[in-house]
Amino acid sequence: LQPKRLLGKRVLLTAGPTFERIDAVRGITNSSSGKMGYAIARAAAEAGAEVVLVSGETALPTPIGTRRINVLSAQQMLTAVEAEVAAADIFIAVAAVADYYVLNPSEQKIKKDAHILTLELAPNPDILANMTAKENPPFCVGFAAESENLLEYAEAKRKRKKLPLLAANLVQTAMGHDDNEIVLLDDSGETRLARAPKIDIARKLIAHITRLYDAAQLE
């Protein structure tokens, strides 16, 4: 049994992919099973936290002890996070948010013909960066999935998004799998979490977040 180090704390998470509508049946999405985010939500609940999980479409059951809010698009995810963030002590952004949305989605199914079809895409808001930019932000944790130069890209992302903690993983080892291997980057350097089932990685991540969060409260 995990020690209940997050008793009385509220943890808000995003998980899964977002889906940006092209027409009545089609859309643009990212490949993300949601498994890592759901495992972290479960681990946070085991640690005693009150957990809110804002989730894109996944095939996963709601983790025990969590309140789940279902969304489709990045804009809906942002709206849900905005509504919940003021109450949160810790925000963990695990979702694979689509970088763009379709400017003029069609209500009806687009019929195919011989012409070239052009989609106009506009950038989505960065949900995590919006939260760290707040006046009294919760303790924010980000994820970085990279296919190469993992540590270099991840540390640059941590600085750009002003995060006390970023969890970095390789796309090749993380996506769709039941286990993962991640590197945690914070102000004191790197901590490697060796390959293990996602729930074990999630419990270690929650323990690490708790240590940093407690230290930040003493500052």
Q: Does 178 show up as a binding residue in the annotation?
A: no
Q: Which of residues 142-201 bind ligand C5P (CB under 6 A)?
A: 142-144, 157
At residue 179's C-alpha, the angle toward residues 174 and 180, to 5°, is 45
C-alpha–C-alpha distance, residues 43 and 125, integer Å? 28
53 binds ligand C5P (CB under 6 A): no
Q: Does 60 show up as a binding residue in the annotation?
A: no
Nearest to ligand C5P of 45, 154 (CB atom)? 154
Which residue type, as a one-letter code, is found at position 70? Answer: N
Nearest to ligand C5P of 45, 80 (CB atom)? 80
Contact 128, 157 (CB under 8 A): no
Show the binding pattern over residues 63-92: x = contacts ligand C5P (CB under 6 A), - = does not.
Answer: -----------x------------------
Q: Is 180 a catalytic residue?
A: no
C-alpha–C-alpha distance, residues 140 and 165, integer Å? 7
User: Using CB under 6 A, which of 12, 45, 95, 150 touches ligand C5P?
Assistant: 95
CB 213 to ligand C5P: min, Å:
17
The piece of 38-46, 113-121, 139-147, 195-203 that touches ligand C5P (CB under 6 A) is 139-147
Helix (H) or strand (E) holding 189: strand 189-197
Q: Does 182 show up as a binding residue in the annotation?
A: no
Contacts 24+ apart (CB under 8 A), 67-75: 71/18, 72/18, 72/19, 72/21, 73/18, 73/19, 73/20, 73/21, 73/98, 73/101, 74/18, 74/20, 74/98, 74/101, 74/124, 74/125, 74/127, 75/101, 75/124, 75/125
Nearest to ligand C5P of 114, 149 (CB atom)? 149
Binding site membership for CTP: which residues?
99, 109, 125-128, 143, 157, 161
Which residues would be at the binding site for ligand C5P (CB under 6 A)?
14, 74, 93-95, 97, 124, 126-128, 142-144, 157
Q: Which residues are catalytic?
A: 30
